[in-house]
Amino acid sequence: MQTVKRNIELRVDDSLMRVYVASPKAEGKYPGIVFYSDIYQLGGAILRLANYLAGFGYVVAAPEIFHRLEPVGSVIEPDDIGRMRGNDDARRTLISEYDADCRAMIDFLKSDNSVIADKIGTLGFCIGGHLAFRAAFEDEIKVSVCCYPTGIPSGKLGKGIADSIQRIEEIKGQMLLVFGTQDPHIPENDRQTIINALEKGKVPHKVFSCQAEHTFMRDDGYRYDAAATTAAWREIIPFFEQMFAG
């Protein structure tokens, strides 16, 4: 379906957080998705992914995750310098600040007239995959999709050590994990640690693995894999549809 795009501003801890919102053009009420970027924020590759998901009937809201450190509208280039900048921004952001942003995003979606308030999920990539994982601790999140989420076993997320894996039993919704088996940032041992923790915590989950590298869904990077990306979407879209059915 056709989509419309807009930018809104939320205030979190007296910081202006720009949120990019893509939603179906047709009037109606749709499930809402808190959509997390990787460390490069809201560049073209990430917005294309957000727009794509919105076209399947979702209100997709993507925040600038480093709004406390970067000027509004900042896009970090996905190159060596950008990687340094993005990783530094990540290290300087408190984990409690990421959590506060998540709460603000959920409250925004619940208050939006085009969103079905009891049908809210989340999806994220890389650091955003970890943020989507943490978002699942919130009662309103019915379904989470975490694409190559980094730092979950180690607690690497922001300033301090994230307690994400220790809080798995707080997850009440369903989760889909998307992994690349050739991803050095999430090696087999880490992938299995996450899966084992979900099983121990009795969290309903599904795992999709494909022969791909890290960030394989970014269409502007050298690790982009169109076939793997298509295969991932073929898992993600039905997963959301099934979880939000009824």
- Residue indicated by tokens 């369903």: 174
Cross-sheet strand order for the sheet of 30-36: 3-12, 15-24, 59-63, 30-36, 115-125, 141-147, 174-180, 205-210
Q: Residue 221 and residue 225: Cα distance in Å, rounded?
A: 9
Entry field: residues in the chain? 246
Spatial contact of 111 and 141, defined as CB atoms under 8 Å apart = no
| 183 in catalytic set | yes
Selecting among 126, 146, 147, 210, the annotated active-site residue is: 126
Q: Which helix (H) or strand (E) holds 5?
A: strand 3-12
| 126 in catalytic set | yes
Spatial contact of 59 and 21, defined as CB atoms under 8 Å apart = yes
- Bridge partner residues of 21 (DSSP): 6, 61
Selecting among 183, 190, 210, 225, the annotated active-site residue is: 183
Q: Residue 191 and residue 179: Cα distance in Å, rounded?
A: 8
Distance from chain centroid for Cα 235? 16
How many CA within 13 A on the CB side of residue 182? 10
Selecting among 67, 130, 205, 214, the annotated active-site residue is: 214
- Residue indicated by tokens 């050095």: 184
| 102 in catalytic set | no
Residues labelled catalytic = 126, 183, 214
